[in-house]
């Protein structure tokens, strides 16, 4: 079966998390992704958070599957020559260097277009044009600047970042969509274009509902937020709402049996309007079905604390999976709080290819997250990440057509470091 992006060649000049997330997706969908790394060092994440000495970290391996690695010093004269050959051979260049770094390497958009008018140049930066455009940015900075931190956590506490990497991986996802869109556009325009995605913008896009609430707030209190029922006045900006759910379907995280010793013995419970009657029966409050204080979604809003306290008295009698089984029979929307351990051991996630075991020559077996996007005609097979410079010789030879003598000269110049000759696996 052919892969959706077969024939697309990507010059992957990315590092850390945001860029590699994007190019890993392209590789999963069949693009030939050539990761360019600095000789001797490579992507800094190879050495970060190492759990086994001198072995590529899980941080690196889990973001760089299905890619090939070439080492290349982009500041060495011979290295620059090789880099320009790659620019001519590739369809897409993806980078997430600090602002201005690509230009300083001599890879300006004008020169790239001159060398390869079909090239798509995709970049992640922390901020778009404006007062912060020159700043270096990491995940949590983007979460803070994109509106996530000010709206996450509890009202009485400090702003909170989330564990989901919406700044890095979230931006990588946005960028991948921009790239495939530009590739489609190129099929009829014949030319490439720039694809820029700022981490602040990507986070804000994911916080869209909070900008919605900001404007609603100007017209009155946000009635679905717990603080409304608690009689706490709203300020002039969207507050942190704890675990309240938006969209007018009030929800909370509730304790389940075992919560005293298990930090994840909790269930998310949503009091969706159409299933209010079965909720009342299950929790033992059948009179709430007709009581004017509880019978309609609007009437319930000022009583959310009381309602969820009553529901919690029921959930605390069941473990989270038991509660799920009972509630699902009535289509009551709810979900267990799953720990990473439970997720790693979940058989259905293994069966669907969302959690995958990968074998690595120096690390051995490890778990990773496979593609969350499933294409019926282009299934993803997760292949291990490359060792540093593993494919340098192969790429110089088969992609760029260099001869033995030319490769020896390139190696001698220091542009690619020492080419590794690996024994076949």
Ligand X SMILES: CC(C)(COP(=O)(O)OP(=O)(O)OC[C@H]1O[C@@H](n2cnc3c(N)ncnc32)[C@H](O)[C@@H]1OP(=O)(O)O)[C@@H](O)C(=O)NCCC(=O)NCCS
Is the Cα dihedral 17, 23, 26, 27 positive or negative?
A: negative
Rounded to an integer, what distance in angstroms lies between the CA atom of residue 83 and that of residue 319? Answer: 57
Write out the binding residues for ligand X, residues 37-56 only, by CB under 6 A: 38
CB of 352 to ligand X, least distance (A): 27
247 annotated as ligand-binding: yes
Residues from 189 through 218 that contact ligand X (CB under 6 A): none
- Asked if residue 272 binds ligand X (CB under 6 A), the reply is no
Nearer to ligand X, 57 or 226 (CB): 57
Interface with ligand X (CB under 6 A), residue from 119, 124, 202, 253: 124
User: Contact with ligand X (CB under 6 A): which of 11, 18, 253, 389?
Assistant: 18
Distance CA 392, CA 421 (A): 9
State whether residue 163 is helix, strand or coil.
coil
Per-residue tokens: 196? 């820029």
Q: Is 358 in the site for ligand X (CB under 6 A)?
A: no
Position 390 contacts ligand X (CB under 6 A): no
Looking at beta carbons only, is 74 or 385 nearer to ligand X?
74
Q: Give the burial string for 258-292 (b: 16+ CB within 10 Å, else e).
A: ebeeeeebbbbbbbbeebbeebbebbebeebeeee
**Residue 31, annotated as binding a ligand:** no
**147 is an annotated ligand-binding site residue:** no
Classify the phi-psi angles of 224: left when phi > 0, otherwise alpha if psi is within -120 to 50, otherwise beta.
Answer: alpha
CB neighbours of 335 closer than 8 A, spacing ≥ 6?
Answer: 267, 268, 324
Closest CA to 152 of 244, 215, 220: 244
The site map against ligand X for 83-102 (x = CB under 6 A) is -------------xxx--x-
Beta bridge partners of 118: none
Using CB under 6 A, which of the segments 58-66, 72-80, 267-275, 395-403 binds ligand X? 72-80
Other Cβ atoms closer than 10 A to 321: 11
# residues contacting ligand X (CB under 6 A): 23
Is 38 marked within a binding site?
Answer: yes
Which residue in 40, 75, 296, 398 binds ligand X (CB under 6 A)? 75
Compute the C-alpha angle 93/65/418, nearest 5°: 75
Closer residue to ligand X (CB): 71 or 227: 71
Report yes or no: 227 and 154 within 8 Å, Cβ to Cβ: no
Flag whether 329 is marked binding: no
- Was 228 annotated as part of a binding site? no
Helix (H) or strand (E) holding 213: helix 208-217
Closest contact distance (angstroms) between CB of 414 and ligand X is 11
* Residues between 133 and 162 that touch ligand X (CB under 6 A): 136-138
Closest CB 145 distance from ligand X, rounded Å: 12
| Closer by beta carbon to ligand X, 45 or else 226 | 45
* Among 11, 16, 241, 410, contact with ligand X (rule: CB under 6 A): 16
Residue 236 annotated among the catalytic residues of the structure: no
- In angstroms, what CA-CA distances link 25 with 19, 172, 184, 373, 384? 10, 9, 17, 9, 14
List 12, 91, 168, 201, catalytic entry? 168
**Positions at the binding site for CoA:** 17-18, 38, 96-98, 104, 136-139
> What residues are designated binding site?
17-18, 38, 96-98, 104, 136-139, 247-249
Residues that bind ligand X (CB under 6 A): 16-19, 36, 38, 72-75, 96-98, 101, 104-105, 124-126, 136-138, 168
List residues forming the annotated binding site for substrate: 247-249
Which positions are catalytic?
A: 168
């Amino acid at each position: 079966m052919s892969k959706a992006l077969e024939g697309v060649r990507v010059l992957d000049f990315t590092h850390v998390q945001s860029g590699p997330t994007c190019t890993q997706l392209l590789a999963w969908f069949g693009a030939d992704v050539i990761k360019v790394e600095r000789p001797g060092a490579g992507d800094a994440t190879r050495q970060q958070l190492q759990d086994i000495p001198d072995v590529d970290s899980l941080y690196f391996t889990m973001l760089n599957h299905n890619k090939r690695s070439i080492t290349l010093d982009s500041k060495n004269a011979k290295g620059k020559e090789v880099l320009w050959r790659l620019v001519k051979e590739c369809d897409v260049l993806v980078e997430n260097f600090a602002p201005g770094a690509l230009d300083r390497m001599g890879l300006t958009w004008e020169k790239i277009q001159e060398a390869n008018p079909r090239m798509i140049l995709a970049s992640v930066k922390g901020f778009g044009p404006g007062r912060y455009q020159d700043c270096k940015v990491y995940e949590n900075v983007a979460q803070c600047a994109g509106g996530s931190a000010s709206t996450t956590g509890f009202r009485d506490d400090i702003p909170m970042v989330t564990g989901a990497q919406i700044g890095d991986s979230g931006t990588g996802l946005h960028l991948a969509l921009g790239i495939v869109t530009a590739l489609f556009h190129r099929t009829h325009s014949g030319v490439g274009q720039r694809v820029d995605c700022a981490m602040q913008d990507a986070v804000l896009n994911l916080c869209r509902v909070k900008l919605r609430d900001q404007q609603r707030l100007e017209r009155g209190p946000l009635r679905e937020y717990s603080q409304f029922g608690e009689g706490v006045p709203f300020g002039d900006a969207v507050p942190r709402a704890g675990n309240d759910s938006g969209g007018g379907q009030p929800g909370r995280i509730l304790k389940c049996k075992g919560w005293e010793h298990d930090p994840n013995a909790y269930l998310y419970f949503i009091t969706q309007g159409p299933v209010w009657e079965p909720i009342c029966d299950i929790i033992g409050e059948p009179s709430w079905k007709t009581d004017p204080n509880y019978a309609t979604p609007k009437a319930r809003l000022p009583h959310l604390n009381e309602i969820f306290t009553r529901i919690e008295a029921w959930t605390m009698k069941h473990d989270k999976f038991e509660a799920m089984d009972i509630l699902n029979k009535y289509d009551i929307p709810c979900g267990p709080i799953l720990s990473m351990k439970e997720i790693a051991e979940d058989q259905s996630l293994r069966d669907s290819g969302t959690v995958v075991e990968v074998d690595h020559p120096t690390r051995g077996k490890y778990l990773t997250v496979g593609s969350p996007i499933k294409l019926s005609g282009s299934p993803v097979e997760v292949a291990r990440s490359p060792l540093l410079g593993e494919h340098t010789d192969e790429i110089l030879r088969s992609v760029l057509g260099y001869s033995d003598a030319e490769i020896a000269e390139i190696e001698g110049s220091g542009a690619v470091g020492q080419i590794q000759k690996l024994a076949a696996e």
